[in-house]
Amino acid sequence: MTKRLAFALLLTAALTACQRTPTSAELEGLVIEVPALRRAAPLNQDIPAAQWPDALKRLAPKRVYNTADGLYIVTSSFFVTEQGIFVPRNMQVPPPGSDPAYTPIGSGFYSYRIEG
């Protein structure tokens, strides 16, 4: 029982740590560097870490990929769930309760969560 509780607490702490919102300074760096990456990267492909600009590398994402909707910066994933930062192209934000769910965090950036 104690091992299960300890594991549950550790898992909760790990998942919570992965959900941090970028600071204003981090967003400022992304505002400058990410739009060019989004325009240049091929669609529907992962962007190799070697091509990430410095502001993006500082966030230590797990994965970055580009879609027709915009750029996804994956900060955590667990089984079928995924969350991170989304930089839209020209997206109307879906209503609350949709999957993925988007929350504005400033400067045209959104946090997102995919439940799977």
Q: How far is CA 61 from the centre of its chain?
A: 7
The span from the CA of 49 to the CA of 26, in Å, is 18
Which amino acid, residue 32? I
Closest CA to 87 of 61, 59, 110: 110
Closest CA to 105 of 10, 40, 26: 26
Q: What is the DSSP letter of 100?
A: S
Structure tokens at 80: 């079928």
- Residue pLDDT, tens place only, 17-35: 445 678 888 888 888 888 8
Q: Where are the domains of the chain?
A: 19-114
Q: Three-class SS of residue 88?
A: strand
Stretch 74-89: mean pLDDT: 93
Structure tokens at 3: 């091992």
pTM of the model: 0.79
Looking at residue 28, its pLDDT comes to 86
Q: Is the dihedral of CA 56, 26, 95, 37 positive or negative?
A: negative
Looking at residue 2, its pLDDT comes to 54
